[in-house]
Chain A
Amino acid sequence: MNELIEILNDLHPEVDFTTEKGLVTGGILDSFDIVSLISEINEEFDVTIGAAELTPENFDSAETIYALIKAKLDDED
């Protein structure tokens, strides 16, 4: 989770990602941010996130993003 928070902090240093629950619905992360984010996630966690998974539900908080990464990692096991 810490690695993910670090990536997110790089994108928007002004946001508290540990508490924010409306990253997409609240307009904090736009489509550019999401693309940067998935390529960094790919680099850091070695998981590929598909276009169909780029939904507000998956990206609205650090928690949901981390849950997506974890689900991907578990799926590979």
Chain B
Amino acid sequence: MPFLLLASYAFYFIADPRYLIFIAITTVSTFFAAKAISDKKVSFDVWFKEHKKEYEKEERKALKAKEHAAEKKIFLCCLLFNLGFLAVTKYTNFTIANINNIIGAFGNQGQISFVDLIIPMGISFYTFQSMGYLIDVYNGKFEAQKNLIKFALFVSFFPQLVQGPISRYADLSQTLYEEHRFDWHTVSFGLERILWGFFKKLVIADRILVPVKAIIANTDSYNGFYAFVGAMFYALELYADFTGGIDITIGVAETMGIKVTENFNRPYFSKNIKEYWNRWHITMGTWFTDYIFYPISASQFMMKLSKKSRARLGNNLGKRVPVYLSSFIVWFTTGIWHGASWNFIVWGLGNFVVIMISQELEPFYRWFHSKVNVAGTLGWKVFQIIRTVLIMSSLRMFDCYRDVPLTFKMFGSIFTQSSLSQLSAEVFIGMGITAYDYLVVFIGMLVLVSVSLIQRSGSVREKIATKAAPVRFIIWYGLFMATVIFGAYGIGYSASQFIYNQF
């Protein structure tokens, strides 16, 4: 275990030695705050059990409240310190830019200079992971970890430093601290998963990235139909890049016998956006639900607001207020978490709007399905999947173009400037990749879809494991050779960073 911690810190050191200070501060502050809260809880519980009968009901309540307030102080100090740290490193320049815009609107006087801050790799991931742990300890879900080395490993476990997933202590600690002996089964499964990740990343994502970049860079030429193509290519690129990266993370951990939480569950097979978000970047979604959406929704303030809004707006409309307000906050936070710029905020709020509209349309859907018997048919399922892909890809154009007015312009151009004359094969070849590249991507995509379809009836790896040795060898060797031969290397390609690195 100390070796794993050393490896994790070495990983950080190689990236930038200064990063170590940041992760160490989060680790130490969270460890001691959680330990203090946990120790207080345990000693109070023991004391309370013994002395409970000596006090009246009201006194007992007061004692509990006093204890709770003391724990809350430590909890809030640590939470605000670490979230403040995250906010300062990630959002200072964004705040300055917005203040400058406001100042500029009043006559361009007194502009504030930007500051040169270090943004440590994976800071959002390890901060969220640590704060999740702190909140769980504060809520009494489990006792705090007593060993600083063990806790430091939980925070910095290197395979997931780059792009998550955001692990929960209760899950990851189950296998992280065990002694692991060499096991051929887990090693082979892990290597297989790593190989699959590289296949997605190098054969599909990095190859299709080239035309995506060309489309984004030349918005005057590539509008209308090409904006639509760009959105579709980007959807494929992001999926292959992000899930490929997570496959590598999970695979690396698996070779060491450590089980990391799954982060995707074939999201593009979702029938609506709400379901999509339960199946895409799952650990982030559940983190936001458990640690932001629920605490806000269940807060005293929200309960009072709920009562007031029901009294004023009636039961039907009033009960929507807490759900809508909490969702708004969650999606705003999700947006800004993805990046300190307005395009991400608008993207987040776009998701909020779509989810709320589909929520409101539910009675209509129920009515529709009572009249038209299509639910459960293959055609309807395909329609739902296409709808999910189109909506999510449209929203992701904010992430793709990274400029709010430009995104709206390009989205509008799909409907106003698309024409059949744009359907020219030569233009596609002019985007930096050849017909051969498109063929490779297409075959790669077919493999991806086939694997997803097989996954519906259980783990693909388990299925491969039951095959005879020569068959398994052909599959592994084929995947390896496909990645080596068809991976995007050489002039014009560079194995780009993983997209989620920056978060």
Question: Are A and B co-members of a single complex?
Answer: yes
Could you tell me which A residues sit within 8 Å of B by CB distance? 30-32, 34-36, 38-40, 42-43, 48-52, 54, 77
Q: List 30 A-B contacts (CB under 8 A).
A: A30-B274, A31-B289, A31-B293, A32-B359, A34-B294, A35-B322, A36-B319, A36-B323, A39-B302, A39-B306, A39-B319, A39-B322, A40-B319, A42-B303, A42-B307, A43-B307, A43-B310, A48-B300, A48-B303, A49-B298, A50-B139, A50-B298, A51-B139, A51-B298, A52-B139, A52-B140, A52-B141, A54-B294, A54-B298, A77-B57
- Give the CA-CA distance A54 to B291 in the complex, in Å: 11
B276-305 CB contacts (< 8 Å) to partner A: 289-290, 293-295, 297-300, 302-303
Interface residue? B326 (CB, 8 A):
yes
**Cβ-defined partner of A38 (8 Å) among B57, B141, B290, B298:** B298
**Cβ-defined partner of B323 (8 Å) among A32, A43, A51:** A32
Residue numbers in B under 8 Å from A36 (CB-CB): 319, 323
Could you tell me which B residues sit within 8 Å of A by CB distance? 57, 139-141, 274, 289-290, 293-295, 297-300, 302-303, 306-307, 310, 319, 322-323, 326-327, 359
Distance between A4 CB and nearest chain B CB, rounded to angstroms:
16
**Cβ-defined partner of A39 (8 Å) among B139, B141, B274, B303:** B303
- Give the CA-CA distance A54 to B139 in the complex, in Å: 12
Q: How many A-B residue pairs have CB under 8 A?
A: 52
Residue numbers in A under 8 Å from B307 (CB-CB): 42-43
Q: Are A35 and B141 in contact (CB under 8 A)?
A: no
- Give the CA-CA distance A35 to B319 in the complex, in Å: 9
What DSSP secondary structure best describes chain A's contact surface? helix
Minimal Cβ-Cβ distance residue in A for B57: A77
Residue numbers in B under 8 Å from A42 (CB-CB): 303, 306-307
Minimal Cβ-Cβ distance residue in A for B305: A39
Q: Are A51 and B294 in contact (CB under 8 A)?
A: yes
Residue numbers in B under 8 Å from A50 (CB-CB): 139, 298
Residue numbers in B under 8 Å from A48 (CB-CB): 298, 300, 303
Other than the given A32-B359, A39-B322, A50-B139, 11 more pairs (CB < 8 A) read A31-B293, A31-B294, A34-B294, A35-B323, A39-B306, A42-B306, A43-B310, A51-B290, A51-B299, A52-B140, A54-B294
- Give the CA-CA distance A38 to B300 in the complex, in Å: 12
- Give the CA-CA distance A50 to B139 in the complex, in Å: 10
Residue numbers in A under 8 Å from B293 (CB-CB): 31, 35
Residue numbers in B under 8 Å from A39 (CB-CB): 297, 302-303, 306, 319, 322
Minimal Cβ-Cβ distance residue in A for B324: A32
Of B293, B297, B299, B326, most buried by chain A (CB within 10 Å of CB) is: B297
Minimal Cβ-Cβ distance residue in A for B292: A51
Minimal Cβ-Cβ distance residue in A for B359: A32
Q: Are A38 and B319 in contact (CB under 8 A)?
A: no
Distance between A12 CB and nearest chain B CB, rounded to angstroms:
11
Distance between B273 CB and nearest chain A CB, rounded to angstroms:
12
Residue numbers in A under 8 Å from B298 (CB-CB): 35, 38, 48-51, 54
Minimal Cβ-Cβ distance residue in B for A77: B57
- Give the CA-CA distance A52 to B290 in the complex, in Å: 8
- Give the CA-CA distance A39 to B289 in the complex, in Å: 17
- Give the CA-CA distance A34 to B297 in the complex, in Å: 10
